[in-house]
């Protein structure tokens, strides 16, 4: 097979594995509620068969494509593993519980919607997970809002917006680490560059929620559910503002331009030390929390769902999914099938603005067709990486667009894994809360506006 002439991939060749992948993902997720791992492996097999038997690509070249793609994301995978340990240790130490405890204190009947948005922003930024935020604090906030007579979609929209604030901005988030890995950027420059789009979106969303919430001013807030959470946190953890030191130290290290991996390791070690000092944790408790995650039976289901997580093992599902997705992307890229698709798209993208618009549309299309936010980052990331470089656009521009379109729109699609999770968790269909998920709606638009105006579109020379 290695001696056969290798053919150039066409759009028809590329569509075969893509159609098969979309079909298998849709069937597995929608019919059997299965994880996307096996469909991704199946899609990779189909892509390899097309490459070997239709294009004549030698098998060793396909393996090289897989290895090179995985090698480029090794740092992100290592960071994810450290982040898993860090989350377990920060929960054990009381750092994350204290963040949630103080965040819940800002609730006020007159500003419930903006407060709910801010609380979810705080929790998601502290934990790096939109699912964990929506599945815990989000459930409580949705129930309280509905009890106040607020439309369920409005409350759920504020929760989802806040949940995705941290999902796309927190250094603890898997997507925040994945996006720069796909483009050749680095974690810290990526986060800093996202502030140009995220801060305006946050401010506009906050104002909109404040305006919407004015009609509920004066209504009495049922604080019973919140008090139950606060009582459970006080009963199981020593509450002290000193426990905010670990995240502040990590932020300081990031500001000092310390690389992400040693910075997060330092935060993990500090979390273990604080767990021993403030919570009386033993060395065995610290090791177990870092490896297997934190476990608690507080008697309050919401608190248990929020805090029973983290650990090295807790990240393995995501790491495995990333490896499966990157393997598919590696085959598609090595064989030129991604390039064949990109050629059609790039032909329509004459300017920087149209290139950004094309990237945004591609991310949303993958979220719709492949029903997974990781693929919405991986595939467009690999597809557009070279084109951005050819146009002298820094990699952090692409990673910012991937997060501002791929990550945040996943929750707005009912059959996407993220949209389905939000629907089941909050009891509100994405089609109902979509008009009120202001942050998720604003970010793709702001990215496109920046593309056409050139604002904050960094050049390669700028880095």
3-state class percentages of the chain: helix first, strand second, coil last, to nearest 5: 80, 0, 20
Confidence of residue 222 (pLDDT cuts 50, 70, 90): low
Residue 231, pLDDT score: 92
The Cα 124–Cα 118 span in angstroms is 10
Q: Which of 384, 433, 432 is nearest to 406 (CA)?
A: 384
Q: For the chain, what percent of residues have pLDDT higher than 90?
A: 46
pLDDT single digits (tens) 41-59: 999 999 999 999 999 999 9
Residue 210, pLDDT score: 93
Residue 143, pLDDT score: 75
Examine residue 106 and state whether it is found in any structural domain, yes or no.
yes
Residue 439, pLDDT score: 97
pLDDT at 444 over 70: yes
pLDDT single digits (tens) 90-111: 999 998 888 888 877 766 667 8
Q: Which of the two residues, 159 and 79, has the higher pLDDT score? A: 159
pLDDT at 147 over 70: no
Residues 6+ apart with CB under 8 A from 351: 452
Examine residue 390 and state whether it is found in any structural domain, yes or no.
no
Question: Residue 459 pairs with which residues in a beta bridge?
Answer: 393
Highest mean pLDDT among 16-20, 25-29, 98-102, 316-320: 16-20
Least confident of 54-68, 81-95, 240-254: 240-254
pLDDT at 118 over 90: yes
Mean pLDDT of 274-289: 97
Torsion from C-alpha of 200, 203, 208, 212, nearest 10 degrees: 160
Residue 1, pLDDT score: 43
Residue 330, pLDDT score: 84
pLDDT at 218 over 70: no
Residues 6+ apart with CB under 8 A from 158: 113, 114, 116, 117, 120, 141, 145, 209, 436
Question: What range does the domain containing 306 cover?
Answer: 75-315
Highest mean pLDDT among 19-23, 80-84, 143-147, 378-382: 19-23
pLDDT single digits (tens) 392-429: 999 999 999 999 999 999 999 887 878 888 887 888 88
Examine residue 58 and state whether it is found in any structural domain, yes or no.
no
Q: How many domains does the chain have?
A: 1
Would you state the structure tokens that stand for residue 436, as one six-digit string? 């009120």
The Cα 103–Cα 121 span in angstroms is 9
Least confident of 216-220, 225-229, 258-262, 338-342: 216-220
pLDDT at 242 over 90: yes
Examine residue 199 and state whether it is found in any structural domain, yes or no.
yes
According to the 3-state scheme, what is the secondary structure of 274-292? HHHHHHCCCHHHHHHHHHH
pLDDT at 206 over 70: yes
Examine residue 105 and state whether it is found in any structural domain, yes or no.
yes
In 197-317, where do the E strands start and end? none
Residue 346, pLDDT score: 79
Residue 326 CB-half CA count within 13 A: 24
Examine residue 260 and state whether it is found in any structural domain, yes or no.
yes
Burial-class residue 461 by CB neighbours within 10 Å (0-12, 13-18, 19+).
exposed
Least confident of 33-47, 70-84, 115-129, 173-187: 70-84
Residue 314, pLDDT score: 84
Q: Which of 83, 178, 99 is nearest to 410 (CA)?
A: 178
According to the 3-state scheme, what is the secondary structure of 88-149? HHHHHHCHHHHHHHHHHCCCCHHHHHHHHHHHHHHHHHHHCCHHHHHCCHHHHHHHHHHHCC
Q: Which of 40, 65, 41 is nearest to 52 (CA)?
A: 65
Residue 149 region, left (φ>0) first, then alpha (ψ -120 to 50), else beta? left
Residue 333, pLDDT score: 81
Examine residue 342 and state whether it is found in any structural domain, yes or no.
no
SS3 at position 415: coil
pLDDT single digits (tens) 350-397: 899 999 999 999 899 888 876 778 888 988 888 899 889 999 999 999
Residues 6+ apart with CB under 8 A from 251: none
Contact 447, 405 (CB under 8 A): yes
Mean pLDDT of 433-457: 96
Q: What average pLDDT does the chain have?
A: 87
Confidence of residue 2 (pLDDT cuts 50, 70, 90): very low
Residue 254, pLDDT score: 64
Examine residue 36 and state whether it is found in any structural domain, yes or no.
no
């Amino acid at each position: 097979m290695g001696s056969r002439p290798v053919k150039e991939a066409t759009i028809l060749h590329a569509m075969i594995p893509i159609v098969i992948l979309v079909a298998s993902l849709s069937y597995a997720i929608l019919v059997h509620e299965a994880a996307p791992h096996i469909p991704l492996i199946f899609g990779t097999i189909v892509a390899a068969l097309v490459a070997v038997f239709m294009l004549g690509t030698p098998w060793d070249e396909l393996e090289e494509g897989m290895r090179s793609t995985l090698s480029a994301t090794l740092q992100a995978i290592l960071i994810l593993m450290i982040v898993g340990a860090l989350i377990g240790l920060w929960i054990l130490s009381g750092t994350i519980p204290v963040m949630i405890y103080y965040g819940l204190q800002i609730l006020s009947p007159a500003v419930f919607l903006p407060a709910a948005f801010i609380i979810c922003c705080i929790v998601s930024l502290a934990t790096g997970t939109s699912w964990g935020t929506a599945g815990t604090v989000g459930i409580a906030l949705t129930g309280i809002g509905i009890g106040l007579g607020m439309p369920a979609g409005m409350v759920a929209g504020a929760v989802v917006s806040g949940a995705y604030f941290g999902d796309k901005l927190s250094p603890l988030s898997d997507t925040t680490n994945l996006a720069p890995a796909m483009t050749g950027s680095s974690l810290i420059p990526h986060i800093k560059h996202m502030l140009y789009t995220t801060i305006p979106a946050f401010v506009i969303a906050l104002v909109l929620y404040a305006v919407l919430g004015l009609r509920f001013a004066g209504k009495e807030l049922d604080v019973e559910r919140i008090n139950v959470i606060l009582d459970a946190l006080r009963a199981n953890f020593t509450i002290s503002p000193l426990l905010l030191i670990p995240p502040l130290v990590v932020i300081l290290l990031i500001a000092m331009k310390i690389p992400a991996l040693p910075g997060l390791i330092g935060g993990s070690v500090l979390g273990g030390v604080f767990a021993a000092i403030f919570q009386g944790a033993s060395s065995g408790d610290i090791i177990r929390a870092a490896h297997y995650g934190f476990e608690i039976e507080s008697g309050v289901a919401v608190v248990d769902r929020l805090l029973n997580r983290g650990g090295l093992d807790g990240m393995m599902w995501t790491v495995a999914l990333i490896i499966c997705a990157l393997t598919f992307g590696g085959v598609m890229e090595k064989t030129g099938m991604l390039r064949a698709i990109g050629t059609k798209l790039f032909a329509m993208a004459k300017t920087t603005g149209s290139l950004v618009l094309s990237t945004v549309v591609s991310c949303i299309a993958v979220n719709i067709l492949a029903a997974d936010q990781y693929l919405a980052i991986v595939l467009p990331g690999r597809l557009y990486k070279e084109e951005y470089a050819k146009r002298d656009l820094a990699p952090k521009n692409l990673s910012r667009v991937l997060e501002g379109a791929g990550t945040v729109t996943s929750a707005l699609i009912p059959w996407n894994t993220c949209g389905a999770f939000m629907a089941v968790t909050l009891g509100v269909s994405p089609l109902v809360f979509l008009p009120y998920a202001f942050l998720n709606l604003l970010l793709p638009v702001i990215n496109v506006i920046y593309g056409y105006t050139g604002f904050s579109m960094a050049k390669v020379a700028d880095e």
